[in-house]
């Protein structure tokens, strides 16, 4: 997939949302250059689950594909001058620092545009570039709390629940990609670059568009979460997760009467589709009792025969054995810098039936410092001097 062949992206990103967005652009052909501090970006040095494989953070594995790495001390005049050379030939600059961070280093948007007027500048922040919350830490679980996502997850009996992944970071990344692609398309028509702004607060709201819109427009509700096993406050019963003797089963959109025979609960046949909304708690409690008497195998068989949409609740260990996941090629088997096996998620979109190739696995810090600086006109002697001064760093590069 070479949709962005010839497009150069400078990624000053750290953590997750920005690096993930940059990786997506690299997957579809952009030359993404990760500009990192001499000690490496945050995602190299911190890992979820504190998991490193051969000193490679699983966070770097998550977002480091199809990027070249250059390590630069942006506080040194020589390092800053080298980065300005990169800006002069870039199409896109991305960053997800708190507002004003790059300004303090002499790399404000205005300073970059003075070097390259056609530049597309993409900033991903927690709460926006201005406003009363601009300087607050934009971290996923905090945004879950502020945006209502936690309050509307879980059930009324147990209270709010934080989602066990980081959906807001990933959605902010997708929105950043969409904004950059739109700006690149418009630049083709107008010749002018744009500023793209994505904030995690609105990303969190956007994730909940259906629920928030219904709530704000007077949908009937008895509370912000479901009751007695219901997955949410707005769907008709028995939409939710139900315990069986040896696990849990999710039941999706169905009418109460659909489960009467499957669960040996003839009284469910007396409930109408409207009752599914009006008597959610009562219906859900009955379904919970019927499901508890079954094993997972029995429940799946009976629900299948009744035509009820359902799925066994599984964990990550089941993904490798999922035949559809395998068919889609959702996992990539690769090697770390130290040669150990690592598993990556593949690009999530197919283009004419094909997945984009992995041109570069996650690279070592500064793995391409020398070649990137040579591409912007520095001689090998000048690069040697920069390395000797500590303004930039070069490690042995790895490909694959």
User: Which residues have a catalytic role annotated?
Assistant: 169
Q: How far is CA 340 from the centre of its chain?
A: 25
CA distance 226 to 243: 16
Give 209: exposed, middle or buried? Use CB within 10 Å, 0-12, 13-18, 19+: exposed
Among residues 106, 111, 144, 121, which one has the least CA distance to residue 13? 121
CA distance 324 to 301: 20
Cross-strand pairs, 251: 240, 310
Cross-strand pairs, 244: 247
Q: Could you tell me if 4 and 25 are in contact, meaning their C-beta atoms sit under 8 angstroms apart?
A: yes
- In this structure, what token pair is assigned to residue 169? 């970071």
CA distance 131 to 227: 37
- In this structure, what token pair is assigned to residue 115? 């070097």
CA distance 61 to 44: 9
């Amino acid at each position: 997939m070479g949709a962005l062949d010839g497009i150069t992206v400078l990624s000053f990103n750290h953590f997750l949302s920005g690096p993930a967005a940059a990786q997506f652009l690299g997957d579809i052909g952009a030359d993404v250059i990760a500009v990192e501090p001499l000690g490496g970006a945050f995602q190299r040095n911190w890992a979820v689950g504190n998991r490193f494989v051969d000193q490679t953070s699983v966070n770097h594995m998550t977002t480091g594909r199809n990027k070249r790495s250059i390590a630069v001390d942006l506080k040194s005049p020589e390092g800053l001058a080298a980065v300005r050379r990169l800006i002069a030939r870039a199409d896109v600059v991305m960053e997800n620092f708190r507002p004003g961070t790059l300004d303090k280093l002499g790399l404000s948007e205005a300073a970059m545009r003075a070097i390259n007027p056609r530049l597309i500048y993409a900033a991903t922040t927690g709460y926006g570039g201005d406003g009363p919350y601009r300087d607050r830490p934009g971290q996923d679980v905090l945004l879950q709390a502020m945006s209502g996502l936690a309050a509307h997850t879980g059930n009324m009996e147990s209270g709010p629940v934080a989602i066990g992944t980081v959906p807001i970071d990933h959605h902010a990344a997708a929105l950043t990609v969409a904004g950059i692609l739109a700006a690149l398309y418009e630049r083709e028509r107008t010749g002018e670059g744009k500023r793209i702004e994505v904030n995690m607060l609105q990303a969190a709201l956007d994730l909940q568009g259906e629920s928030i819109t219904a709530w704000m427009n007077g949908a009937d509700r008895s509370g912000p979460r479901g009751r007695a096993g219901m997955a949410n406050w707005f769907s008709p019963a028995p939409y939710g997760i139900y315990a069986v003797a040896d696990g849990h089963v999710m039941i999706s959109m169905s009418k109460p009467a659909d489960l009467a025979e499957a669960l040996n609960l003839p009284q469910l046949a007396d409930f109408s589709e409207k009752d599914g909304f009006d008597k959610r708690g009562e219906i859900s409690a009955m379904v919970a009792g019927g499901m508890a008497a079954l094993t997972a195998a029995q429940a799946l068989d009976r629900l299948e025969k009744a035509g009820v949409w359902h799925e066994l609740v599984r964990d990550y260990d089941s993904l490798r054995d999922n035949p559809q996941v395998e068919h889609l090629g959702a996992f990539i088997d690769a090697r770390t810098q130290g040669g150990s096996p690592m598993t990556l998620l593949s690009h999530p979109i197919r283009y004419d039936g094909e997945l984009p190739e992995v041109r570069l696995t996650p690279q070592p810090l500064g793995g391409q410092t020398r070649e990137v600086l040579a591409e912007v006109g520095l001689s090998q002697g000048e690069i040697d001097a920069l390395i000797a001064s500590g303004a930039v760093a070069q490690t042995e590069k790895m490909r694959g």
